[in-house]
Amino acid sequence: MKHQIPMLILSAVGTLLVVSVFVPSAQHWGEDATLYFDIIAVFAFFLGGGNLIRVHTEKVSHKSAGWIYSVVTLLGFGIMLVTGLFKIGNPNGIAGDLSKSGSYFQLLFQYVMSPLNSTMYALLAFYVASASYRAFRAKNTEATILLVAAFVILLGRTALGVLLTNWIPAQLSVLQIPNLAIWIMNAPNLAGQRAIMIGISLGVISMSLRLLLGIERTYLGGDS
């Protein structure tokens, strides 16, 4: 019951979707399955929300270390949830678009979530700079190639790249840094991306087969 039924569901759903590709009248199954997947994924968000409430409420009730920050998390979660689910302040009420300009949900997104999101990622610029200083030392051939490629790409997208090499004649224009950056992206980078994509696709195909045939069972948990 705990193991056989999930394996049966997985094999049945997966096999049906593979077969549907070869049966013209069943080709909409793939779209339906994607829709079902999206709906279940929303419940996964609900599960995440429920888990967040449980974990942080426990921290607050036990007054664990840093419980005050759990209050902040719960408050942020509650405020966003209430303003979004009830569309508070939405000019068109419940029928209006969720991110309608002027709604409280949109204001919270614009002035709280968006600054937090972009600053978090902007913060990484400093850590990337620090990491690249350590990683980009030309210790061997491979590291040198990586360094040169990254440097050309970075320089090729800036005005400095144009300024430094715009004196190079048209006959050698591929050596102008912006053109060289484009060439790197379109030739060697493309080749590398393709090799990786082919490798990934082979991995995905073999993993899918293992799942459908019931060989791969790690998703059932440790006691499987």
Residue 74 near residue 57, CB atoms below 8 Å:
yes
| CA–CA separation, 79 and 139 (whole Å) | 52
Binding residue for other proteins (CB under 8 A) from 23, 88, 160, 209? 209
Per-residue burial over 124-141, b = 16 or more CB atoms within 10 Å of its CB, e = otherwise: eeeeeeeeeeeeeeeeee
Block residue for tokens 């998703």: 219
Compute the least distance from the CB of residue 85 to other proteins, in Å: 6
Residue 17 near residue 30, CB atoms below 8 Å:
yes
Q: Which of residues 178-207 bind other proteins (CB under 8 A)?
A: 179, 182-202, 204-205, 207
DSSP 8-state code for residue 3: S
Q: Which of residues 143-162 bind other proteins (CB under 8 A)?
A: 143, 145-154, 157
3-class SS of residue 187 = coil
Of 112 and 163, the one with the shorter C-beta distance to other proteins is: 112
Residue 57 near residue 71, CB atoms below 8 Å:
no
Residues 75-114, one symbol each (x = binds other proteins by CB under 8 A, - = not), give xxxxxxx--xx--------xx--x------x-xxxxxxx-
Q: Is 24 in the site for other proteins (CB under 8 A)?
A: no
Binding residue for other proteins (CB under 8 A) from 23, 128, 138, 163? 128
Q: Is 121 in the site for other proteins (CB under 8 A)?
A: yes
Compute the least distance from the CB of residue 164 to other proteins, in Å: 16
Residues 44-73, one symbol each (x = binds other proteins by CB under 8 A, - = not), give xxxxxxxxx-x-----------x--xx-xx
Compute the least distance from the CB of residue 90 to other proteins, in Å: 11
Candidates 190, 189, 166; CA nearest to 176 is 166
Residue 30 near residue 16, CB atoms below 8 Å:
no
Q: Is 138 in the site for other proteins (CB under 8 A)?
A: no
Q: Is 171 in the site for other proteins (CB under 8 A)?
A: yes
